[in-house]
Structure 1
Amino acid sequence: MPLVYAAVIPPPWANPDLNPCARQSRGWQVLFWPPDKKCYKIFKVGYPCPDGMELSPATSRNGKELYAECRCPPGQAFSIEEGKCFQLFTPGPCQQGSYFGSDGEYKNNVTTSIQRLGSCKQIATCPDVHSIFWIKDGKCYQKLTKGPCAKGQLLTMTTGNKLPVCACDKRKELRQFRARDGRCYQHFTRGPCKEKGTLFLPDGTCGCHSFLPHYHKQTDKCFELGTVGPCSKGEIFTVLPQTNNGGCMCKPGNIRYLDNPFCHRPFTRGPCKASHILFNQTHCLPQPCEKGELYYPDEDSCFKIGSRGPCPAGRIISFDFDTRPSIDGVSYNGVCMCETKNCIDENAVNISDDKEQEIGKEEERMTKKSRNKDISEENVKCDSDRGQIRYKSGCFKIYSHDPCEEGAWLVPTKRKEDEDFVGICECTPGHVKKEKIVENRLESECLSQTSILADYLKMNFTVSQRM
Structure 2
Amino acid sequence: MILLHCLACLVAAAMGAVLPPPWADPSQNPCAAEPSGGWQLLYWPDDKKCYRIFQRGYPCPETMELVPRPDRKGSAECACPPGSVRSARDSRCHQLFRLGGPCEDGQYFAPDLDRDDRERWGTCEDPLPCAEKDELFWPKDKRCYRKHSRGPCTEGQLLVPSTMNSLIGDCRCENVPDLATYFWAPTGTCHEHYTMGPCQERGGIFLPGGQCGCDPSLPHFHNGTGKCYQLGGIGPCSPGHQFLVPAGGSKAECTCKEGHIKWFGDGACYRPYTRGPCAAGNMYSVNTTATGMAVGCVDIPCTAGKLYFPGGKGCHRVGTQGPCPAGQIVLFQDTVKTSIEGVSYLGMCGCANSDAAAGTFYSSSAALACKPPAAARKLPQQHDGRGAGASPRRSDALLQPQDPCGHRRGTVAWTDLSCKQLYLQGPCEPGEWVVPDRGKGTRKGRGWKMGKCECRPGFTAVPVPGDANNATACQPPTVTLAKFLNMSDEFNHNHNNHNNNATAHGNDDDGDDDSGNNNGVRTR
TM score, norm. by length of structure 2: 0.59
Whether the aligned pair in 1 keeps the contact of 2:55 and 2:66 (CA below 8 Å) is: yes
Whether the aligned pair in 1 keeps the contact of 2:156 and 2:190 (CA below 8 Å) is: yes
Q: Which residue of 1 aligns with 2:24?
A: 14
Amino acid aligned to 1:100: F
Whether the aligned pair in 2 keeps the contact of 1:105 and 1:117 (CA below 8 Å) is: no
Q: Structure 1 pair 348/78, CA: closer, same or farther in 2 (3 Å)?
A: farther
Q: How many angstroms does 1:147 deviate by?
A: 1.5
1:269-318 Cα deviation digits (max 9, x unpaired): 33456634322442335533233211234774322112122334554212
Q: Structure 1 pair 185/270, CA: closer, same or farther in 2 (3 Å)?
A: same
CA distance in 2, matches of 1:240, 1:32: 66
CA distance in 2, matches of 1:220, 1:283: 33
Q: Which residue of 1 aligns with 2:306?
A: 293
Q: Which residue of 1 aligns with 2:284?
A: 277
CA distance in 2, matches of 1:335, 1:147: 29
Q: How many angstroms does 1:42 deviate by?
A: 1.5
Q: How does 1:28-39 map to 2 (within 5 A)?
A: 28-39=39-50
Any idea what SS the aligned residue of 1:176 has? helix
Q: How does 1:158-197 map to 2 (within 5 A)?
A: 158-162=162-166, 163-181=168-186, 182-197=188-203
Any idea what SS the aligned residue of 2:42 has? strand
Alignment match of 1:69 (pick from 77, 85, 94)? 77
Q: How many angstroms does 1:327 deviate by?
A: 2.5
Q: Which residue of 1 aligns with 2:149?
A: 145
Amino acid aligned to 1:165: D
TM score, norm. by length of structure 1: 0.66
Q: Does 1:328 align with 2:341?
A: yes
Whether the aligned pair in 2 keeps the contact of 1:277 and 1:287 (CA below 8 Å) is: no
Alignment match of 1:121 (pick from 110, 117, 125)? 125
CA distance in 2, matches of 1:351, 1:55: 42
Alignment match of 1:154 (pick from 143, 151, 158)? 158
Q: How does 1:347-366 map to 2 (within 5 A)?
A: none
Q: How many angstroms does 1:168 deviate by?
A: 0.5
Q: Does 1:215 align with 2:260?
A: no
Q: Does 1:50 align with 2:61?
A: yes
CA distance in 2, matches of 1:350, 1:82: 40
Higher deviation after alignment, 5-14 or 288-297: 5-14
Whether the aligned pair in 2 keeps the contact of 1:269 and 1:278 (CA below 8 Å) is: no
Q: How many angstroms does 1:27 deviate by?
A: 3.6
Q: What is the percent sequence identity of the aligned residues?
A: 43
Whether the aligned pair in 2 keeps the contact of 1:269 and 1:277 (CA below 8 Å) is: yes
Q: Which residue of 1 aligns with 2:249?
A: 243
CA distance in 1, matches of 2:309, 2:140: 32
CA distance in 1, matches of 2:356, 2:339: 30
Q: How many angstroms does 1:234 deviate by?
A: 0.8
Q: Does 1:267 align with 2:273?
A: yes
1:177-218 Cα deviation digits (max 9, x unpaired): 111221101011111222221111111121111110000011
Instruction: Select the structure that is richer in strand.
Output: 1
Q: How many angstroms does 1:171 deviate by?
A: 4.4
Q: Which residue of 2 aligns with 1:309?
A: 322
Amino acid aligned to 1:180: A
Whether the aligned pair in 2 keeps the contact of 1:314 and 1:343 (CA below 8 Å) is: no
Q: Which residue of 2 aligns with 1:89?
A: 97
Amino acid aligned to 1:50: P
Amino acid aligned to 2:178: E
Q: CA RMSD in A?
A: 3.2
Higher deviation after alignment, 313-322 or 160-169: 313-322
Whether the aligned pair in 1 keeps the contact of 2:198 and 2:206 (CA below 8 Å) is: yes
Whether the aligned pair in 2 keeps the contact of 1:200 and 1:207 (CA below 8 Å) is: yes
Whether the aligned pair in 1 keeps the contact of 2:327 and 2:371 (CA below 8 Å) is: no
Q: Which residue of 1 aligns with 2:109?
A: 100
Q: Is there any run of 5+ residues in structure 2 with no aligned partner, and where? A: 1-12, 288-292, 358-367, 379-524
Amino acid aligned to 2:238: S
CA distance in 1, matches of 2:71, 2:294: 63
Higher deviation after alignment, 230-239 or 16-25: 16-25
Q: Structure 1 pair 308/140, CA: closer, same or farther in 2 (3 Å)?
A: farther
Q: Structure 1 pair 94/343, CA: closer, same or farther in 2 (3 Å)?
A: farther
Any idea what SS the aligned residue of 1:155 has? strand
Q: Structure 1 pair 336/342, CA: closer, same or farther in 2 (3 Å)?
A: closer
Equivalenced residue count is: 344
CA distance in 2, matches of 1:303, 1:342: 20
Q: Does 1:199 align with 2:205?
A: yes
Any idea what SS the aligned residue of 1:115 has? coil
Whether the aligned pair in 2 keeps the contact of 1:313 and 1:347 (CA below 8 Å) is: no
Higher deviation after alignment, 293-302 or 141-150: 293-302
Higher deviation after alignment, 334-343 or 206-215: 334-343
Q: How many angstroms does 1:351 deviate by?
A: 9.2
Any idea what SS the aligned residue of 1:174 has? helix
CA distance in 2, matches of 1:313, 1:50: 50
Whether the aligned pair in 1 keeps the contact of 2:350 and 2:356 (CA below 8 Å) is: no
1:394-420 Cα deviation digits (max 9, x unpaired): xxxxxxxxxxxxxxxxxxxxxxxxxxx
Q: Is there any run of 5+ residues in structure 1 with no aligned partner, and where? A: 109-113, 358-467
Any idea what SS the aligned residue of 1:150 has? coil
Q: Structure 1 pair 257/39, CA: closer, same or farther in 2 (3 Å)?
A: closer
